[in-house]
Amino acid sequence: MRVGTDTAGLARRVAAAFAAVTATLTLVAAPVAAQPTPPDPGPPAPINPLPITPACPDTGGGGAAIDQNGGAVLGTCWGNTPGSGPDITVSSALVWNWYGCDQWRPYSPGSTVSAVTPQGELLLEDIIARGLDPTVTYVWHTVECTHVQQGAGADGADLVEIWGWGLLVIGTTAPVDPLTLRDIAAARIDPEPPTPATSPMWGEVASVVNMSTWLWVTDDWEPVEEEESQGFVTVVVQARPVETSWDTGDGTTVVCVNGPGVPWTPGMASDDTYCSHTFTAAGTGLAGSATTTWTFRWWLNGNDMGDFGDFSRTTPISFDVTEIQAIETGR
């Protein structure tokens, strides 16, 4: 069973592992001392009925399936992180050597890797200690080798030896670049366009020349987060609103960066807002807009990885602007 951890030390080591691991590392054989003869064969173990997903031996990574009847491997081999290579067929002899059965007997026709049995997933500490990619799920396996010497028996029958050994580490999922996880999480963040409000209210009451028109948005000015995980790697992406840009339709753009703006209420002074515009000429149906810009930031297993981009949402608006005529009486 996989055991997760959220300790700061392990999080830092996972982040450091990504800087050090640049190749696809989906299979590593645990050190096993070579022996001149195979161990005493025990009773034949049942052939594993489920396909496994070893890395293809000649590409350094893969998502193949072993044919238990013939020992051949047919599948898609992934050679980069991330990425995939072409389908290939691997010979029975190569599979024999790759699983370590050649430590005791060289391959001969009819020999097979007769069982590869999962024994449980690697813990995060095991993955880091071996320099493996922590986005991959790894499983310890024991291996059973069936060696056949055709016609080598005393009566001319085949001489068959069966033995097992372990443990072998096999990556059972494709590696994923943390940036891919980041982009998957970011793609799920899709806030609504802003809801602009003004005083006087656009579309209802005309603004007045040489008098301040307040600008604000009524939406929550709060960050939005999404999370994506694979293996022992968790990426958190946050989008936070940083500014609203107002096109007031008269050739002016007002950028408000300290929040959503201040809603007007009766009795407030004109300088109680930091987001406003003063029209200098009358007009009708001045086409403008309110655009809120959001900035992305992300964390890799709790480590702050900084900002990485932004996006905007826009709502079209229009202004009517009128003048208030004054008559000088001479008094």
pLDDT in tens, 182-234: 999 999 999 999 999 999 999 999 999 999 999 999 999 999 999 999 999 99
Closest CA to 183 of 305, 49, 57: 305
**137 and 234 housed in the same domain:** no
Say whether both 82 and 196 belong to one domain: no
Looking at the structure, tell me whether residues 183 and 312 fall in a common domain: yes
Per-range mean pLDDT, top range of 40-54, 56-70, 235-249? 235-249
Q: Please check whether residues 148 and 252 belong to one and the same domain.
A: no
Output 61 or 144, whichever has higher pLDDT. Answer: 144
Task: Give 56's DSSP letter.
Answer: B
**Number of structural domains found in the chain:** 2
* Structure confidence at residue 81 (pLDDT): 29
Domain assignment of residue 159, yes or no:
yes
Q: In which domain, by residue range, is 278 found?
A: 178-322
Domain-terminating residue out of 152, 171, 190:
171
**Which of 76, 74, 80 shows the shortest CA–CA distance to 95?**
74
Phi (first) and psi of residue 60, to 5 degrees: 85, 5
Asked if residue 329 belongs to a domain, the reply is no
Instruction: Supply the pLDDT for residue 327.
Output: 59
pLDDT in tens, 266-285: 999 888 999 999 999 999 99
Do residue 14 and residue 108 come from a single domain? Answer: yes
Sign of the four-CA dihedral 199, 201, 205, 207: positive
43: preceding bond cis by omega (within 30 degrees)? no
In a domain, 331, yes or no: no
* pLDDT for 154: 78
Mapped to the 3 state alphabet, what secondary structure does 232-246 carry?
CEEEEEEEEEEEEEE
Domain match, 141 and 258 both: no
Instruction: Between 99 and 135, name the one with better pLDDT.
Output: 135
Contact 139, 170 (CB under 8 A): yes
Between 51-60, 94-103, 104-113, 133-142, the lowest mean confidence (pLDDT) is in 51-60
- Whether 278 contacts 210, CB under 8 Å: yes
The whole-chain average pLDDT of the chain stands at 76
Q: Which of 140, 171, 202 is the last residue of a domain?
A: 171
Q: Do 106 and 195 belong to one domain?
A: no
**Same-domain status, 147 and 21:** yes
* Higher local confidence (pLDDT), 201 or 60: 201
Residue 313 placed within a domain: yes
Give the lowest-confidence range in 47-56, 153-162, 230-239, 318-327.
47-56
Count of C-beta atoms within a 10 Å radius of residue 137:
17
- Give yes or no: residues 114 and 251 share one domain: no
Last-in-domain residue among 155, 171, 187: 171
Mean pLDDT of 106-115: 87
Residue type, 19: A
Assess if residue 1 is contained within a domain: no
pLDDT of residue 120: 86
40-44, 162-166, 171-175, 198-202: range with highest mean pLDDT: 198-202
Are 121 and 1 within 8 A, CB to CB? yes
Beta strand pairing call for 138-149 and 112-121 = antiparallel
More confident residue, 331 or 317: 317
**pLDDT tens-digit readout, 288-326:** 999 999 999 999 999 999 999 999 999 999 999 999 866
330 domain-assigned: no
> What values do phi and psi take at 259, rounded to 5?
140, -165
Any domain includes 289: yes
Q: What is the pLDDT of residue 17?
A: 43
Q: Does 156 share its domain with 227? A: no
Q: How far apart are the C-alpha atoms of 13 and 231, rounded to whole Å?
A: 15
165 and 186 housed in the same domain = no
Q: Which of 109-113, 159-163, 169-173, 320-324 has the lowest mean pLDDT?
A: 169-173
Q: pLDDT: is 90 or 153 the higher one?
A: 153
**Can you give the pLDDT at residue 150?**
87
Question: CA–CA distance from 17 to each of 127, 138, 236, 320 (Å)?
Answer: 10, 16, 18, 59
Q: In Å, how far are 61, 66, 91, 176 from 58, measured between CA atoms?
A: 8, 15, 11, 21
60 and 152 both lie in a single domain: yes
Could you give the count of Cα atoms lying within 13 Å of 207 in the half-sphere of its Cβ? 31
